[in-house]
């Protein structure tokens, strides 16, 4: 977020070519082909166990495709990706101030240098301002509401990397007002800052309202395309059954 994106918007930032994903000898997804461009907002939907997390882990470089490849066309590879995992109970109870939690987003970049530079502190301040949490900076993280905590973790991810933001079920545990606010923030990061957003979600209704593209995975049936084309597809009937 703090520097401009290093990527050309006409070149796919993530490219999946004939990929088969899974574990050891268990294939989870096969025949996967898609291209994600800078500025896309992609929601990954599908039933439980269909392979959404496996796909996310592969894009993050945590596991390798069994066949084919997923290319990250960005100078820092998967280091271009800010990742917001599902919030765990341990994360909710983290004993640190908001500023400290956000600054941990820089740890991977720093190596063993013990202090944060002035530039890094300015970057953190900019991200906090962008997410409207500057007034929370000195507060204890564990005392915040779920929605505020999610906003802080989002700021942390943005500080870690600013080309692509990947989120795994980000509204889990949030009340409807906090969820709506998070969606609004993501829309604004996407439209105003040009961030590429890739989100695994169960909330298919909101996905089709907010995203520009849908990746639907379900056994043999995979759909990738614009939201409008998705709504006209066979695959969407799983979540939006036609009227009898």
Least distance from ligand ADP to the Cβ atom of residue 32, Å = 13
List, as one string, the DSSP characters of 105-165: GGHHHHTT--S--HHHHHHHHHHHHHTT-GGGTTSBGGGS-HHHHHHHHHHHHHHH-SSEE
How far, in Å, are 90, 95, 96, 127, 147 from residue 142 at the CA level? Answer: 10, 6, 8, 20, 12
Residue 120 vs 203, nearer CB to ligand ADP: 203
Closest to ligand ADP by CB, 46 vs 147, is 46
By C-beta, is 54 or 196 nearer to ligand ADP?
54
Taking residue 146's Cβ as centre, other Cβ atoms within 10 Å add up to 16
Q: Which residues pair with 212 in a beta bridge?
A: none
31 vs 49, beta carbon nearer ligand ADP: 49
C-beta of 30: minimal distance to ligand ADP in Å? 13
3-state secondary structure of 222: strand
Question: What is the contact surface with ligand ADP in residues (CB under 6 A)?
Answer: 23, 26, 28, 46, 48-54
Residue 234: CB minimum distance to ligand ADP, A? 19
For ligand ADP, the closer CB: 52 or 151: 52
What is the closest distance, in whole angstroms, from the C-beta atom of residue 173 to ligand ADP in the complex? Answer: 17
Residues 6+ apart with CB under 8 A from 20: 27, 29, 30, 31, 32, 65, 66, 67, 68
- The least CB distance from residue 200 to ligand ADP, in Å, is 7
């Amino acid at each position: 977020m703090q520097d401009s994106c290093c990527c050309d918007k006409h070149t796919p930032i993530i490219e999946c070519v004939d990929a088969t994903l899974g574990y050891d000898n268990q294939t989870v997804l096969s025949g996967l082909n898609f291209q994600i461009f800078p500025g896309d907002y992609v929601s990954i939907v599908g039933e439980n166990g269909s392979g959404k997390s496996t796909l996310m882990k592969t894009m993050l470089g945590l596991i390798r495709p069994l066949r084919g490849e997923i290319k990250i066309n960005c100078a820092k590879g998967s280091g271009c990706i800010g990742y917001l995992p599902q919030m765990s109970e341990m994360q909710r109870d983290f004993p640190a101030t908001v500023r400290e939690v956000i600054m941990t987003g820089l740890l991977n970049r720093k190596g063993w240098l013990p202090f944060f530079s002035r530039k890094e502190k300015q970057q953190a301040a900019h991200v906090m301002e962008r997410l409207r949490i500057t007034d929370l900076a000195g507060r204890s993280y564990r005392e915040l509401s779920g929605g505020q905590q999610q906003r802080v973790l989002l700021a942390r991810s943005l500080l870690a990397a600013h080309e692509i933001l990947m989120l795994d079920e980000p509204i889990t545990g949030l009340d409807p007002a906090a969820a709506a606010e998070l969606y609004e923030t993501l829309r604004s990061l996407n439209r105003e800052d040009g961030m590429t957003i890739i989100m695994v979600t169960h909330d298919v209704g909101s996905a089709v309202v907010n995203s520009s593209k849908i990746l639907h995975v379900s056994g043999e049936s995979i759909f990738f395309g614009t939201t409008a084309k998705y709504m006209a597809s066979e695959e969407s009937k799983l979540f939006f059954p036609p009227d009898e």
